[in-house]
Structure 1
């Protein structure tokens, strides 16, 4: 995604916020008043108006109902989300990643999207979309690589990933692609851009080992949790839920190998894949 495209979309969300503020004030409502009527906090309404956060669709629809705007915010929300190269359930998460000061992620079977090489990402998209046009596959890969640019910025978030050893061993895209992916992962760790731990097979069962989770912290907003299912996702910010998920993540972190031992296992797995890729 070109930076210009992102700037244009951000300007559109700022228009959304400006219109929300104007119409709220015309209705004689404070941010707290409107928040109470659409079941979010007044602080959230302020963040919507400043384009710091984007509302979920159901919130935009409730705003239309309260302000009697004849579906204006519903239609604008849908237009902005449709312009995203992501699935609807993930578009808001991609926006929040750019704003996060810290991202903690657990992946039970795959290398996380922010750490993937183009070849690894291609293998995943082709496997899940075997009849898709090449243009669609390329667009999805570009979008994923653009997301990963946040880890190269000077203001990049602290990024802490825990991977199950399965993610190192399954040869996504073949042995050569997998070796290159793990080499890239190891390089990012050595460059101190990310911190990665591995939950090894020998750790045995864990109550959360099969559930992907992403926790995000922000400078001026409450933390959120994102979990994903089959063609669906849940973005949660209820404090009690976030606290429970953080506890689950802490337990995974305690069971995982140290960063140093994890890096050694990543390198070993890369060499194992490389040997499989060599002609016999």
Structure 2
């Protein structure tokens, strides 16, 4: 492997996954990701390497290799190319990776979407728009159309459907504790028109009042400057792995698992929580904003 150029391990070997449990057996015909995992395991064993030994060759932990083999981790193109070069398998794993990596969500969000399903707690900060898992179809549709202005209707509707499927996590049997801090600006931007905003805000109130594991706070304009004002932030905690942070801007997103940076994000989130209105006062403000949007509808 002398002279081989490897990708930066920091971009594809997060510590988050190193201690997650792995299933002992995998049916290769369940889905493309399972087939990828079984093929990686077959090639590794044919080369006489353990997971730890393969991890050492590609600068990663053995348990992280296990995440690929057990289909708990979405395959990565860069690593698949390295595997193919190591095993002399042509482009076999790279091609399987492209098949297994298909996702309903944007590529930059795919890994975070998977982590949401495993999180025991999710803390979000929303500066300008309502968090995705709390959006109504009308709001999600208006937001998608504003972001993908030239997309055909079927593409827009697929995005809306996917977002509604994600929302089911908050009411499922394995639902996480979901704590969201919404900047007051997100209550005021009239996405979809006054009635769509009214319905969206009342949906927030209903979700928070019906489900005790959903906690909402509003950071009012009077709260002043904050590190997250231009960035959506999601902090995820797990029962069997270190916490991670997902940040998102327009057309891009990033997972952060460096402990020091995660701690910085957590400190900033705690500060926002301290400055924000109480949950009850927040719901009152959300409900008041909903009534204002309804009044705007009647005036037009």
Q: CA deviation at 1:159?
A: 1.1
1:245 partnered with 2:245: no
Query: 2:247 touches 2:253 (CA, 8 Å); kept in 1?
Result: yes
Partner residue, 2:156: 137
CA separation in 2, counterparts of 1:69 and 1:162? 48
> Structure 1: 5+ residue runs without aligned partners?
1-7
| 1:171-186 equivalent positions in 2, closer than 5 A | 171-186=190-205
CA separation in 2, counterparts of 1:68 and 1:164? 52
Partner residue, 2:9: none
The two structures have a TM-score, normalised by structure 2, of 0.84
1:270 partnered with 2:290: yes
Q: CA deviation at 1:121?
A: 0.6
Query: 2:74 touches 2:100 (CA, 8 Å); kept in 1?
Result: no
- Secondary structure, aligned partner of 1:98: helix
Query: 1:102 touches 1:157 (CA, 8 Å); kept in 2?
Result: yes
Query: 1:182 touches 1:269 (CA, 8 Å); kept in 2?
Result: yes
The two structures have a TM-score, normalised by structure 1, of 0.89
CA separation in 2, counterparts of 1:117 and 1:247? 30
1:257 partnered with 2:277: yes
- Secondary structure, aligned partner of 2:41: helix
1:102 partnered with 2:121: yes
Report Cα offsets for 1:186-223 as digits up to 9, x if no partner.
11100124111111101111123222111222233332
Query: 1:212 touches 1:228 (CA, 8 Å); kept in 2?
Result: yes
Partner residue, 1:231: 251
Q: CA deviation at 1:179?
A: 0.5
Comparing 229-238 and 165-174, the one that deviates more: 229-238
What is the number of equivalent residue pairs in this alignment? 272
Q: More helix by proportion, 1 or 2?
A: 1
> Structure 2: 5+ residue runs without aligned partners?
1-27
Q: CA deviation at 1:9?
A: 10
Q: CA deviation at 1:10?
A: 6.7
| 1:47-126 equivalent positions in 2, closer than 5 A | 47-82=67-102, 84-126=103-145
CA separation in 1, counterparts of 2:38 and 2:264? 35
Greater than 4 Å deviation, 4+ residue runs? none
Q: CA deviation at 1:160?
A: 1.1
Comparing 72-81 and 146-155, the one that deviates more: 72-81
Partner residue, 2:176: 157
CA separation in 1, counterparts of 2:260 and 2:114? 23
Q: CA deviation at 1:24?
A: 1.7
CA-based RMSD of the aligned residues comes to 2.0
